[in-house]
Amino acid sequence: MATIVIQIVIFFICLSVHEAAHAWSAYRLGDPTAKVEGRMTLNPLAHIDPYGTFIVPIVLALIGAPVFGWAKPVSINPRNFAHPARDSFISALSGPAANIVFAVVISLVMRLISKNSLPYDILYFFVQVNITLAIFNLLPIPPLDGSKVWYLFLSEESALTLERFGPVILIAVLLFSSTANNVLLRFIGTISQFVVGIIS
């Protein structure tokens, strides 16, 4: 139970970094929506989604599955951007980028700690979660962050249509992955472990 609690807390912190980065970059690019809603903060309480932040991760941890979940989405109004398609893409990428930077910083701290210790193991899990979050969110499937790349190539109408069907597509991909020996999760896990091995 203590391990599960630590995993959930770490996951929550990493999600908060991710969402705060979205809010900050959107604000810097001209959209104050998330800042007004109080989302431009590292305070985890501002990013809570009851199901995605607590129920789903806890259930997955209890059954021994990879911990996965989500925070409350950051509200962004592209009409406030000088270049809506480009700036939406930049603000979307800021979340995964923040997780990668966070992972690198933690990995530097790990070099000062004995490998055979609890603090090292906790920091290592921090790195794993950050890298996994970054890679998963870079998939070009709505509503994931990587899907904003389509706004650079499709018309606004087509991109919005894709956004509407995105959750269905994502669920279908995850279901297919689970029936095909979890090919997607194994792919993400392999890349994550490779990146973690490099920086840690």
Angstrom distance (rounded) from CA 33 to CA 39:
9
Cis status, amide bond into 143, omega within 30 of 0: yes
Which is it for the CA torsion 137, 167, 173, 7, positive or negative? positive
Q: Are 24 and 139 in contact (CB under 8 A)?
A: no
Q: Are 90 and 107 in contact (CB under 8 A)?
A: no
Burial (CB < 10 A; 0-12, 13-18, 19+), residue 52, is: middle
Q: Which of 19, 37, 156, 163 is catalytic?
A: 19
Say whether 37 is catalytic. no
Nearest to 81 by CA among 148, 8, 18: 148
Enzyme catalytic residues: 19
